[in-house]
A and B are shown apart, each in its own frame.
Chain A
Amino acid sequence: MKTPKIKLKNVHKRFGDKVVLDGLDLEIMPGESLVIIGGSGTGKSVTIKCILGLLTPDIGEIEIDGQSVLDISPVERNTINARIGMLFQHAALFDSLSVWENVAFGLIEGQGMLASTARDIALEKMAAVGLAEDTAEMHPSDLSGGMRKRVGLARAIAINPEIIFFDEPTTGLDPIMGDIINQLIVETTQNIGATGLSITHDMSSARKIADRIAMLYKGKIIWHGAVEEIEKTKNEFLRQFINGNSEGPIDFETAII
């Protein structure tokens, strides 16, 4: 049996009295694109932050390529993160750097590449996400929301990562720009053969990006399956979520934690 690229086993995380992850189990196979869906505050971002080492789970195991990534040194963490790309919800571009410097950051600072070589790769990645060369010297404050997402995507794929995380990739974008970003995510992820983990509550985004979908509710995966199965599901929670109904079994009072 193949080793999962990412594996979470019985992961718990709480902030004070608020239980965010309550025994989360998840496996993502190499080259697969998994999308986690769920309402706001159900622990989607916390899941990604735990895998990246930005948060530490209270209990549980997290493995990448069969190796535990908990209780490791900062140097080992940097080595692991150097294989991971991340597109943040609001892009999280560095204000003080130009567009190309943002894209090339992981190459220059993370891998120690020469700035001139890194600039060439950055321009190549920018072209891959539809950014013209004349945007290279602009600063993030000069860009629209869609362009910022593109720069964030170019930065995420610049290091040719084995794994890419997408945190709400279409939030704040109009439907057309959202679809363009979704298409870019699919193309760029396939081109570099990366394993993808996305979190979103945008169902059109989930349907476009995912090979497999998992629904997170009250800190646990309550449903998972291939993207085609989602339309035929009898799971009442999932049906309520994908249809966007206010009536149903989902308890929004406690879901928002």
Chain B
Amino acid sequence: MSFLQLTGATVLGFFRAVGHITHFTIVAVSHCFRPPFYFQLIWRQIVEIGYYSLPVVGLTTVFAGMVLALQSYTGFARFAAGAESSIAKVVVLSITRELAPVLAGLMVAARVGSSIAAEIGTMRVTEQIDALTTLATEPFKYLVAPRVIAGIATLPVLILIGDVIGIFGGYIVAVYKLDFNAAIYLKNTWEFVQFTDVFSGLVKATVFGFVTTLMGCYQGYFSKGGAQGVGTATINAVVSSAILILILNYMITAMFFGA
């Protein structure tokens, strides 16, 4: 195959994939708004995605907050006397705007995206999705919509909890390791944080929840070729979710805070 043919095939393949994903997204979203709604399945997914992701999100954000406080302290000390007093502000700003949504979003993409892709992919290759259709049940409504709804509903709550835990991590290091005054640290944190900081993080979380569950469902739904196909779908779900999270993170940041 010549270079030109290869380039053409790649470009066409890219646009075909974009069209395919767009169509899948439109159908999936439309099923989120049309009855019947499987409330029991939605609740099960909320528990699966939200509750069981709490430990990993908590660990990620607490250590992110702790490291941030430590790094800021030693870093700021190099170039300005007294800059250490800004640590509380740096921690709260970084955690709420960036670290909690992005790091936790990536962790959830790895945990939940892979799990969804593997489960739906296995259902595809073992004909369980075909069985759903023959039993007069729409697979999009039964499999995709509950996961997408749960992802959108759960991620903001997870990130909000992650914000609190991350700020608490910074507080622990600042107060117990760096000997900051606890009351002043908390006062600085509370006075500096603005509604937009937290809100932008929650918007990111909502979008990341949508993207992660959608990519997991998409890759699983179209997996083929047995166990190897399910493995490939799982990898693709995590990689595509992670890439989209990073791209969308920039776009949302630019939307809220761009000049």
List the interface of chain A (C-beta within 8 A of B).
Answer: 49, 52-54, 74, 78-79, 81-82, 84-86, 88-90, 92-95, 105-106, 109-111, 155
Contact = CB atoms under 8 A, between A and B. Distances in A.
B137 interface: yes
Contacts of B126: 90, 92
Contacts of A111: 136
B5 interface: no
B44 to A, nearest CB: 9
B157 interface: no
B181 interface: no
20 contacts: A49-B130, A52-B134, A53-B133, A54-B130, A74-B138, A81-B133, A81-B134, A81-B136, A82-B136, A84-B134, A88-B130, A89-B127, A90-B127, A92-B130, A94-B123, A94-B131, A95-B122, A95-B128, A110-B135, A110-B136
Contact of A92 (B131, B136, B137, B142): B131
Contacts of B128: 92-95
Given A92-B126, A92-B128, A54 B133 contact: yes
Nearest to B131: A92
B113 to A, nearest CB: 19
B130 A81 contact: no
Given A90-B126, A92-B126, A78 B131 contact: no
A52 B133 contact: yes
A109 B127 contact: no
A80 to B, nearest CB: 9
B134 A78 contact: no
B6 to A, nearest CB: 20
Contacts of A49: 130
Nearest to A167: B127
Interface residues of B, number: 14
A172 B123 CA distance: 20
Nearest to A53: B133
Task: Return the 7 tightest CB-CB contacts between A and B, nearest first.
Answer: A110-B136, A92-B127, A82-B136, A92-B131, A86-B134, A106-B135, A78-B136
Contacts of B130: 49, 52, 54, 88, 92
A213 to B, nearest CB: 24
B38 to A, nearest CB: 8
Contacts of B123: 94-95
Contacts of B127: 88-90, 92
Given A81-B134, A95-B123, 20 more contacts: A52-B133, A54-B130, A74-B138, A78-B138, A81-B136, A82-B136, A84-B134, A86-B134, A88-B130, A88-B131, A90-B126, A92-B126, A92-B127, A92-B128, A92-B130, A92-B131, A94-B131, A95-B122, A109-B142, A110-B136
B135 A81 contact: yes
Contacts of A90: 126-127
A113 to B, nearest CB: 12
Nearest to A49: B130
Contact of B137 (A52, A54, A95, A109): A109
A110 B137 contact: yes
B143 to A, nearest CB: 11
Interface string B240-255: 0000000000000000
Interface string B152-184: 000000000000000000000000000000000
A81 B131 CA distance: 11
A91 to B, nearest CB: 9
Interface in B101-129: 122-123, 126-128
A81 B130 CA distance: 11
Nearest to B126: A92
B116 to A, nearest CB: 13
Nearest to A102: B131
A109 B135 contact: yes
Contacts of B134: 52, 54, 81, 84-86
B137 A86 contact: no
B132 to A, nearest CB: 8
Contact of A105 (B122, B133, B137, B138): B137
Nearest to B130: A54
Contacts of A52: 130, 133-134
Contacts of B135: 81, 105-106, 109-110, 155
Contacts of B142: 109
A14 to B, nearest CB: 17
Contacts of A94: 123, 128, 131
A78 B142 CA distance: 13
A85 to B, nearest CB: 8
Most chain A CB inside 10 Å of its own CB: which residue of B122, B131, B135, B136: B135
Interface in B35-83: none
